[in-house]
Amino acid sequence: MLIAAAEETSGSFVQLDVGVGWWVGLLALIMALLLVDLLVVHREGHEVYTREAAIESTVWISIGLAFGLVVWWGFGGAAAGEYYSGYLIEKSLSVDNVFVWALIMSYFVVPRRYQHRVLFWGIFGALILRAVFIFAGIALIEKFEWVLYIFGAFLLYTAVKLVVGGDDHVDPSKSKFLKLVHKVIPLTDQMDGQRLFTRIDGKRFATPLFAVLLLVEATDVLFAVDSVPAVLAVSHEQFIVFASNAFAILGLRALYFLLADMHARFSYLQEGLAIILAFVGVKMLIHRWYVIPTWLSLLVIAIVLFAAIGFSLRATRGQDTMEVPEEMPPPQER
């Protein structure tokens, strides 16, 4: 069942005849990578420093790029182009997610040696949620093509909001979701190692790590509302969209430890993301009259992303200290 076929449809997106074997292979690879990361590389909780995070980020990015070559081998260059476009979009939009995670970790004062474990389960949940968003989004597009115009308009709105809205990041202290968790689940302000639940005087309580995990999942849903429609602007094939999202997300833990304290260094990131979202939004809105080639989409996204990073690092050259979110005490038990 590993035989695959691909063909261009209406001069725009590829349609793939993906055998069951391809899906089984992809899911098996993802699970194997997660298990190696959890049971081998990070079996014992420890602080992840810059050098280790840089090495792990390089490995994860290399795996993501290498899978694009697998897509090229199995489905052709057009499919690989869509995969790489989706991968770059998801990776660039995920950088902002990393800084939100840093704020959440700071608010709950989570020791660095425990952060990887909670992010691991956060990533695992994110993969499931993204799969739901992706399959639902593609099903909507296939049944109601006009949904593309809604997605396109929403991406343009988000792009404008990124430019004029500033750094409107999630404030855990004002989270209605967190307040709901307090009402439903007994929560203690005491850590118990890497455990999500603990017992105090014979009663079961959720630890602050459980609240962190729930907030990480909640913020990922918010970011998925932007990123999934953006990726659907460059591919409508379920296998490609899910694979590009999965491999971009898998490397987020390492990217977090590498970039979490560097928000001040990425001064032009918001503008770069706004341009990317505006571009894919326009691509969706004009698809009936003009189809932007996949290679051009990939080129534009790559140029904008690397330009935003380059200008940011140049503008903040020489900064020794990073703007780290101010630590706040964990929420009190209610």
Q: Calculate mean pLDDT across residues 232-256.
A: 87
Residue 2 pLDDT grade (very low, low, confident, very high; cuts 50, 70, 90): very low
Residue 135 has pLDDT above 50, yes or no: yes
User: Is 0.85 topped by the overall pTM?
Assistant: no
Per-residue pLDDT, 247: 93
Q: Which two tokens stand for residue 41?
A: 């590389």
* Weakest-pLDDT range from 12-26, 106-120, 164-178: 164-178
- Of 160, 139, 162, 140, nearest to 150 (Cα)? 140
| DSSP three-state, residue 12 | coil
More confident residue, 232 or 96: 232
pLDDT in tens, 258-311: 776 666 667 777 788 888 888 888 888 887 787 778 778 788 888 888 888 788
**Residue 76, phi-psi category: left (phi > 0), alpha (psi -120 to 50), beta (remainder):** left
CB atoms within 10 A of CB 154: 17
Give the per-residue SS3 of 57-81: HHHHHHHHHHHHHHHHHHHCHHHHH
Instruction: Report yes or no: 244 and 71 within 8 Å, Cβ to Cβ.
Output: no
Distance CA 207, CA 190 (A): 6
Distance CA 216, CA 57 (A): 20
Element (H, E) at 189: none
Q: Which two tokens stand for residue 269?
A: 């990131």
Per-residue pLDDT, 65: 94
CA 70 to mean position of chain CA atoms: 22
Contacts of 288 (CB under 8 A, 6+ apart): none
